[in-house]
A = this chain, B = another copy of it.
């Protein structure tokens, strides 16, 4: 199969995604962003490498949608609403036009789902691994930082913990759980959930690690009740070891929030000190083999 040259590739697959006026049909050296009328412009960027951040032989449409959703999740963690994104593709020789078409179709689906437009980007060849970067733009009237957690806050999560790491096992065929595989490919950015929180982060490295980032930025400590962490039935069925693995597994893209009150699911509390402690139902600290999953 052939692959279109850069300009043909842009014209065929990417320009149709550039629905915002400021994208200028991807013809200019740069995009013009419509800045929010009220509130702050919020920007985030993630790079994903095949074999490191996703299976390179996965369906291109799902690779595209996961790439976009993981970035949108960062906007949700900041209490922002999404507007648009830039896309940088470093493509190895094996990537052909049918792959690109399926990739663009996946993006188009999620552009509709989340009301965002492609704004620009860059497409290059690489002798190495498929490397995908999305830079997402949003706006927030009251941005939520990681530094606002205070002793007395409670800790909440927006949904099941562990679907990401066990979903990856399902994608790899290590466990039989098709619904978790879909959750791995299609995380749900939790827009609106961070509103009113004192601090928030999305769970990409694992609940313990990402709550740890909040604690470090806020100068506080946190206690997580092991039994309070919500698990999907498929994960709970794997036994008590899976519960601990879920807390440090990563790739969930649920949010972890600190607040006095929230409609989200309470899993712990903020206290004075440093670090994150997981405790059992008797209040005893549970030893952790690791804090979270690190891609680096």
Check if A122 sits within 8 Å of B45, measured CB to CB. yes
Interchain CB contact under 8 A, B124 and A127: no
Residues of the B chain whose Cβ atoms lie less than 8 Å from the Cβ of A124: 47-49, 52-53, 295-296
Closest to A42 in B: B30
Report yes or no: A43 in contact with B30, Cβ–Cβ below 8 A. yes
User: Which residue on B lies nearest to A40, using beta carbons?
Assistant: B32
Find residues 80-94 in chain A having any chain B CB closer than 8 Å to their own CB.
80, 86, 88-90, 92
Q: A42-B30, A43-B33 are in contact. Are A49 and B86 (CB under 8 A)?
A: no
User: Is the C-beta of A267 less than 8 angstroms from some C-beta in chain B?
Assistant: no
Q: Which residues of B are found within 8 Å of A51, using beta-carbon distances? A: 127
22 A-B pairs, CB-CB below 8 angstroms? A5-B296, A9-B296, A24-B145, A27-B145, A27-B217, A28-B146, A29-B74, A29-B77, A29-B78, A32-B140, A33-B41, A35-B35, A41-B41, A44-B120, A45-B121, A47-B88, A47-B124, A49-B126, A49-B128, A126-B131, A128-B131, A131-B131
Q: Footprint of B on A, CB under 8 Å?
A: 5-6, 9, 22, 24, 27-33, 35-36, 40-49, 51-53, 74-75, 77-78, 80, 86, 88-90, 92, 119-129, 131, 133, 135-138, 140, 143, 145-147, 200-202, 213, 216-217, 294-296
Q: What are the 10 A-B residue pairs with the smallest beta carbon separation, nearest first?
A: A128-B128, A128-B129, A30-B44, A35-B35, A6-B296, A29-B74, A33-B41, A29-B77, A47-B88, A27-B217
